[in-house]
A and B are shown apart, each in its own frame.
Chain A
Amino acid sequence: MKAVLRLAALSAWSRRLTLGLTLVAIALAVTLLLAVERIRVDARQSFTQSVSGVDLVVGARTGGVQLMLYAVFHAGAASNNITWDSYQAIATHPAVDWALPLSLGDSHRGFAVLGTSADYFARFRYGDREELRFRQGQPFAGVFEAVLGSEVAQALGYRLDDRITLSHGLAELGPEHGDKPFRVTGILAPTGTPADRTIHVSLESISALHLDWVGGAPVPGVKIPAEFVAKFDLRPKQITAALVGLKQRGDVFRMQRFVNQYRGEPLLAVLPGVALDELWQGIALLERTLLAVSALVVLIGLAGLAATLLAGLNERRRELAILRALGAGPGDMFLMLTAEGVLVTAAGALLGLVLLTVASNLAAPWLLDRLGVVLGTRWPGREELALIGAVITTGLVASLIPGWRAWRMSLADGLTPKL
């Protein structure tokens, strides 16, 4: 058996160019398969990890999905606000550990403006309980100060201490709050969450912006210059939604009931995980499309692999014939073909994994910056191992079956002088 394996090794070495090509084909197939699979899984992860550590999202009574859409993804508009009193009632509830008020509705060149408390930067978690980090600067301290998400800063070329003016409403060309510019005090690091596309300001700033506005339009003839706003009571009267963290997770359904049955006004509390799942179901078409692309890539990759292996086998026909003429039996032949097949496919799969790791490490910052997809480096999961297994099996079958056929038909080649 040792002698046979040695023959297999020498034979493989003599065909190193063809085998090298096969190995590269396998490596590329594995890289491609896993890359598509990873992007698919990670896109979903990025989606479901846009908030973390929040037990309840609270807003005016509406659909759970809709509440998530505007509170977490800052997409769409809230149909109703909740009063500051209701918020206070929830925030001071004994079961509540912390609460973050969210006030939405303004925008800046297509990016959402979020009014919140300064606590937000310390409290907010995304992904695997990661904190928001500042790439530059610090949280807002006073009125008319803003903290930009990474994508906002990159797309619009803003730097610290730049002055920006906000627009009322979500339309890109809505009425301007042109008289009250904001100073950029901080820029966040990329997170792969909606925070990247958000401009964060204080709740007081939101109030100040709207002092001379009534019902969504400036009051004619009334102008309150920025330097006088401090003389007014800037405490918010209403907010759009709130993120709530509990002291004990076990209280979540009790707290949800408290909010949903709140007497002051109709409110809704949703569990973010449940609502995100529901939301993802809604856009499952996207995932199914990615899955179909994955399947096609699998097919094409494996077909290419089989073709490369089949092409290489012609080279071996004479060799197998000679060995059979000299007494090599089916067992010897099986051992030789299998040893080579397993070695090449396994080495190819390994090389593919290395390629994938290198490529994803190189591409991860770009993907995060441009697409907001967090591409993780990790050991292959169960589904990925199954994919690798499929590649190796195909490689083996593609090299064994024709090899076997070649062997069966080869005796005449090895024993007759012509060839």
Chain B
Amino acid sequence: MTALRITDLVFRWPRQAQICLDIARFELAAGERVFLHGASGSGKSTLLGLLGGVALPQQGRIELLGTDITRLGSRDRDRFRADHIGFLFQQFNLLPWLPALDNVLLPCTFSARRRERAGADPRAEAERLLRHLDLDTASWRKPAGELSVGQQQRVAAARALIGRPEILIADEPTSALDAERQQAFIDLLLQESAAVGAALVFVSHDQRLAGHFDRSIALHDISTAMAEQPE
């Protein structure tokens, strides 16, 4: 079963003449871990937005786990995303006033599927993930806004992983770290995504990080459009 299949995709931002993305075919197998490389302005964020269902392509299909999300209504797309995709953002997007542990549990609050897949006790699962990601127990009950950047990153990773989503999408999640800790975090992420059995799309402009992935792809190899687009 494929985790992701893109077919004949064409995307252009509204009110822009130039085509931003033009992907004839792109596939990701279940559990496969791919490094997606692209320079700034190459359309990386746009592609992630399309995978997340934020924007809809003018043409083509985006199948996630066999479901074409371009055919879903916006409410179903929201539901599908919450149920099957773990997002890990450059800015982490934690709720700063919420304790770290509760931030990790958020997907289980809003997605019944993620809650079921987190096991009998989601809180214990959240604690297990945080422990695996080396976050000291003292920080678990602190509001996320009071944690260091490195700690917030671990919380965000745990939040993306909880409830074993089939697809994990990470967008430049290491840009705030120094080189040594970047690699350590990536190894941790690879290990955890393997543990939950998620396919991983890791997006970065920094090609040096590509080493430990199953596959490394440059965006300009799969997309024929060479577009400037609003980041």
Contact = CB atoms under 8 A, between A and B. Distances in A.
A414 B49 contact: no
A327 B54 contact: no
A326 B107 CA distance: 6
Interface in B35-53: 45, 48-49, 52
Contacts of B96: 14
Interface stretch (A44-52, A217-225, A317-325): A317-325
Given A415-B49, A416-B49, A327 B98 contact: no
A327 B79 contact: yes
B110 A415 contact: no
Contacts of B87: 325, 415
Interface in B178-217: none
Interface in A391-419: 411-412, 414-419
Contact of A10 (B45, B82, B90, B97): B97
B81 interface: yes
B231 A418 contact: yes
Interface in B64-115: 75, 78-79, 81-83, 87, 89-91, 93-98, 102, 106-107, 109-111, 114
Contact of B78 (A13, A319, A324, A416): A324
A218 B171 CA distance: 107
A2 to B, nearest CB: 10
A7 interface: yes
Contacts of B54: 411-412, 415-416
A327 B231 contact: no
Nearest to B169: A415
Nearest to B77: A411
A4 B52 CA distance: 23
Contact of B81 (A327, A330, A332): A327
A92 interface: no
Nearest to B160: A326
Given A10-B97, A415-B49, A416-B49, A323 B106 contact: yes
B63 interface: no
B81 A319 contact: no
A62 B106 CA distance: 82
B127 interface: no
B206 to A, nearest CB: 15
B45 A417 contact: yes
Interface string A9-52: 01101100000000000000000000000000000000000000
Contacts of B82: 326-327
A10 B98 contact: yes
17 contacts: A3-B109, A10-B102, A11-B98, A14-B97, A322-B95, A323-B106, A325-B81, A326-B106, A328-B110, A411-B78, A412-B55, A414-B93, A415-B87, A416-B48, A417-B89, A417-B171, A418-B231
Nearest first, the 4 closest Cβ-Cβ pairs linking A and B are A327-B82, A14-B97, A327-B110, A417-B90
Given A10-B102, A325-B93, A328-B109, 12 more contacts: A3-B109, A323-B110, A324-B78, A326-B111, A327-B83, A327-B107, A327-B110, A327-B111, A329-B78, A416-B48, A416-B49, A417-B91
